[in-house]
């Protein structure tokens, strides 16, 4: 595997330089980027613009105030143009400050900041080509630092809040790990003479979103500390708050990849005496000590906690659902360590906008599984993770059934994974959602039967209301392609068992389960859900028992490769039903077998298996 020297930035850098000066102006360029045109959904950010706005508001509120230029989701041209204008303003200013929040990466010793339209493609092993690509599509940190160092401002500050997962991938698919790991931050910048560099997380650490900047802004606004004490106070408070967050998340059983982490800012400085005396807010009442500042933060968190309790945040409800899905117990809003993803209001106080969720916690990402066959209970239903990937759908052309049954083999790719119920929907699960049981073979643990396509859509709609999922996810019928992908679970044979369907491992015509010794259909020809052998991903009764409705309209297969397919054709008002049922022979219970029925059709062999998906659903 190719090793490439690149690190995501998990740091906030502050550069301060001191020289003799007569001007009294204070100027700031503040940039926050949440949206990235060329990065995938999981690499989009949530609080960078918010933090940038908070710092801009803070700098405008101090005495004397800063003249602030605020850029939100800036592209490369506007960022460079604004920087040039800022350098003109910085000449002979008392203080010149730059703040950037967004993605940042280090490549072979050079740091680059990514803006909205940065399009640098995948990471290349060709170092010079990659550096040229980064230099024209991203902001060179060294270039900006060098330009600011040449200005005649008395105090120079550059704050970079770039604590993010690395959004880039290597061209060979090997990933983009640096020599010290992919989550370890920007390369350390040696401070020029008269400069202070402050990092939101020390070397080898990842910082929590929405913590360093709010704490720093509060200390800038509410104290008249000299600059070194501002950062020392911020460092201690961030360390203590992040430690309490990490402990709380660990105790609640939140998966490690979604927990808030302990981190501690670090400062490296070569300040001159004049720079060490610099004070952000000269009219602020002096803070007595660090303990008093911590008390203020604790009081603020207490007030935010009360507001959340009063509002009954829907986000907290959804977070609880995720926790239940992970079978780790119910998550309650923490009494301490509340995420401080904030921005200033008109009165200058901080408003909570997180709904009580851990900083950096992505509900959408929390919904994703880690590997094929992972089981989580979501909304009371055990679900199996089916990862993104591809497979050959249908029957090989060498088999006559391929043409006879319209099962033409073709490649299907899934760009995202999905969850499929471990078993067919039981009568108990059905009745708990819609309040009635239409089944012919009534037993709570048997699969629901005698349901139409329309009935299943009503169940799914009710389940989405009963158990709402994070943005971008929903309860659904699986698509036909999703169903076969999950059924095969990596197999390429007629059945996931092999080319033969064992009489004792599935319910079909001719199995040991459907007829008595006299050859008569049993009064209860189906079996309880989950009672027979599962496939390699852990899904039970994919062949026989009851047929399972899929979301698609009936339509011929594509003749070529497809990605995330679903048929929405209205030419045929029939809908796909898969898997076969107790009254069909094995040939009609194969992984590739497909049938279609009108949406109102129901019979004792029709059932369904719910899915939790990202992209499908007609409502």
- The tokens for 85 are 């204008």
Residues 311 and 437 in one domain: no
Other Cβ atoms less than 10 A from the Cβ of 370: the count is 11
Place of tokens 């079909």: 508
pLDDT of 375 higher than 90: yes
What's the rounded mean pLDDT across residues 176-183?
A: 29
pLDDT of 413 higher than 90: yes
Residues 350 and 475 in one domain: no
Residues 152 and 10 in one domain: yes
Between these two residues, 439 and 315, which has the higher pLDDT value? Answer: 439
**SS3 assignment, position 99:** strand
What's the rounded mean pLDDT across residues 122-142?
A: 72
Per-residue pLDDT band for 124 (boundaries 50, 70, 90) equals low
Please report, for the domain that includes residue 572, its CATH number.
3.90.1580.10
Q: Is residue 619 part of a domain?
A: no
pLDDT at 186: 64
Number of structural domains found in the chain: 2
Residues 106 and 190 in one domain: yes
pLDDT at 192: 73
Please report, for the domain that includes residue 167, its CATH number.
3.40.50.1460
Residues 332 and 401 in one domain: no
Residues 358 and 374 in one domain: no
Between these two residues, 356 and 236, which has the higher pLDDT value? Answer: 236
Extended beta strands in 366-435, E state: 375-378, 381-386, 389-393, 410-414, 418-421
pLDDT of 5 higher than 50: no
pLDDT of 144 higher than 80: yes
Query: Measured between alpha carbons, how far is 379 from 475 in angstroms, rounded to an integer?
Result: 10
Cα torsion through 159, 204, 241, 16, rounded to 10: -20
DSSP 201-223: S-TT--PPTTTHHHHHHHHHHH-
Between these two residues, 12 and 78, which has the higher pLDDT value? Answer: 78
Residues 157 and 34 in one domain: yes
Considering the chain, what percentage of its residues have pLDDT values greater than 90? 43
Task: Note the pLDDT tens digit of each residue in 261-272.
Answer: 888 887 878 777
Between these two residues, 155 and 528, which has the higher pLDDT value? Answer: 528
Task: Note the pLDDT tens digit of each residue in 187-218.
Answer: 677 777 767 777 777 766 777 888 889 999 99
pLDDT at 246: 86
Separation in Å, CA 450 to CA 91, 426, 506: 79, 12, 20
Residues 372 and 312 in one domain: no
Q: Is residue 1 part of a domain?
A: no
Separation in Å, CA 593 to CA 406, 590, 596: 9, 5, 11
**SS3 assignment, position 516:** coil
Separation in Å, CA 435 to CA 228, 429, 462: 65, 10, 11
Other Cβ atoms less than 10 A from the Cβ of 347: the count is 6
Place of tokens 């309209």: 553
Q: Which of 23-27, 161-165, 503-507 has the lowest mean pLDDT?
A: 161-165
Which pTM does this prediction carry?
0.49
Determine the structural domain holding residue 224 and report its residue range: 6-365
Residues 517 and 419 in one domain: yes
Per-residue pLDDT band for 175 (boundaries 50, 70, 90) equals very low
pLDDT at 559: 86
Show which of 342, 365, 388 is a domain's final residue. 365
pLDDT at 174: 32
Q: Which of 100-109, 378-387, 534-543 has the lowest mean pLDDT?
A: 100-109
Between these two residues, 26 and 170, which has the higher pLDDT value? Answer: 26
Q: Is residue 248 part of a domain?
A: yes
pLDDT at 206: 77
Residues 390 and 340 in one domain: no
Between these two residues, 104 and 50, which has the higher pLDDT value? Answer: 50
Indicate the average pLDDT of the chain: 78
Residues 457 and 552 in one domain: yes
pLDDT at 202: 76
Task: Note the pLDDT tens digit of each residue in 276-333.
Answer: 888 999 887 655 444 555 565 556 555 544 544 443 344 434 444 444 444 343 333 2
pLDDT of 394 higher than 60: yes
> Highest mean pLDDT range out of 175-189, 287-301, 484-498?
484-498
Q: How far is CA 519 from the centre of its chain?
A: 55
Show which of 306, 332, 365 is a domain's final residue. 365
Q: Is residue 216 part of a domain?
A: yes
Per-residue pLDDT band for 336 (boundaries 50, 70, 90) equals very low
pLDDT of 410 higher than 70: yes
Other Cβ atoms less than 10 A from the Cβ of 430: the count is 25
Residues 359 and 430 in one domain: no
Closest CA relative to residue 156, chosen from 204, 214, 198: 198
Show which of 332, 365, 398 is a domain's final residue. 365
pLDDT at 259: 76
DSSP 254-273: --GGGS------EEEE---H
Helix axes 76-90, 141-149, angle to 10 degrees: 20
Q: Is residue 232 part of a domain?
A: yes
Q: Is residue 618 part of a domain?
A: no
């Amino acid at each position: 595997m190719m090793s490439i020297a690149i690190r995501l930035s998990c740091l906030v850098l502050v550069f301060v330089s001191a020289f003799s000066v007569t001007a009294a102006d204070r100027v700031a360029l503040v940039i926050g980027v949440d949206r990235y045109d060329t990065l995938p959904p999981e690499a989009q950010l949530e609080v960078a613009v918010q933090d940038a706005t908070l710092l801009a508001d803070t700098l405008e509120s101090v005495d004397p105030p800063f003249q602030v230029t605020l850029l939100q989701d800036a592209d490369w041209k506007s960022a460079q143009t604004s920087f040039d204008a800022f350098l003109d303003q910085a000449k002979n200013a008392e203080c010149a400050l730059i703040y950037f929040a967004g993605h940042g990466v280090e490549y072979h010793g050079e740091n680059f900041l990514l803006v909205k339209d940065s399009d640098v493609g995948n990471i290349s092993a060709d170092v010079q080509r990659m550096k040229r690509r980064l230099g024209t599509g991203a902001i060179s940190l060294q270039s900006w630092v060098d330009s600011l160092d040449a200005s005649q401002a008395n105090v120079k500050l550059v704050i970079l809040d770039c604590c993010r997962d690395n959004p880039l991938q290597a061209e060979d698919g090997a990933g983009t790990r640096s020599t010290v790991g992919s989550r370890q931050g920007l390369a350390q910048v040696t401070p020029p003479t008269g400069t202070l560099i402050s990092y939101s997380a020390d070397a080898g650490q990842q910082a929590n979103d929405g913590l360093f900047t709010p704490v720093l802004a509060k200390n800038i606004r509410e104290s008249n500390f000299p600059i070194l004490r501002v950062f020392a106070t911020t460092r201690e408070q961030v360390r203590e708050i992040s430690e309490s967050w990490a402990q709380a998340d660990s105790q609640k059983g939140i998966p490690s990849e979604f927990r808030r982490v302990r981190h501690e800012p670090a400062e490296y400085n070569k300040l001159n005496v004049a720079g060490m005396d610099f004070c952000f807010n000269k009219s602020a009442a002096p803070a007595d000590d660090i303990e008093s500042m911590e008390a203020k933060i604790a009081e603020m968190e207490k007030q935010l906690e009360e507001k959340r309790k009063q509002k009954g945040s829907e986000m907290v409800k959804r977070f609880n659902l995720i926790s239940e899905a992970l079978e780790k117990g119910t998550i309650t809003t923490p009494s301490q360590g509340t995420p401080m993803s904030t921005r200033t209001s008109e009165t200058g106080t901080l408003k909570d906008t997180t709904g009580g969720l851990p900083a950096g916690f992505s509900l959408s990402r929390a919904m994703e599984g880690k590997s094929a066959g992972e089981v989580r209970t979501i909304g009371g239903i055990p679900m199996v993770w089916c990862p993104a990937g591809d497979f050959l759908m249908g029957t090989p052309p060498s088999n006559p059934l391929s043409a006879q049954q319209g099962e033409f083999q073709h490649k299907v790719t899934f760009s995202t994974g999905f969850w499929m119920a471990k078993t067919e929907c039981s009568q108990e699960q059905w009745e708990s959602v819609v309040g009635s049981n239409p089944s012919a073979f009534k037993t709570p643990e048997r699969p629901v039967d005698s349901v139409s396509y329309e009935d299943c859509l009503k169940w799914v709609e009710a389940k989405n209301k009963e158990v709402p999922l994070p943005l971008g996810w929903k309860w659904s019928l699986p698509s036909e392609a999703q169903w076969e992908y999950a059924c095969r679970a990596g197999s390429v044979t007629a059945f996931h068992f092999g080319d033969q369907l064992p009489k004792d491992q599935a319910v079909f015509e001719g199995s040991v389960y459907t007829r008595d010794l006299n050859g008569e259909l049993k009064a209860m020809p189906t079996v309880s859900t989950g009672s027979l052998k599962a496939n390699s991903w852990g899904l039970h009764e994919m062949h026989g028992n009851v047929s399972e409705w899929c979301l698609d309209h009936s339509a011929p297969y594509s003749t070529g490769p497809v990605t995330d397919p679903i048929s929405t054709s209205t030419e045929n008002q029939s809908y796909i039903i898969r898997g076969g049922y107790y009254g069909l022979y094995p040939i009609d219970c194969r992984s590739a077998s497909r049938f279609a029925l009108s949406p109102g059709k129901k019979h004792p062999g029709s059932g369904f298996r719910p899915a939790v998906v990202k992209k499908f659903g007609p409502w």
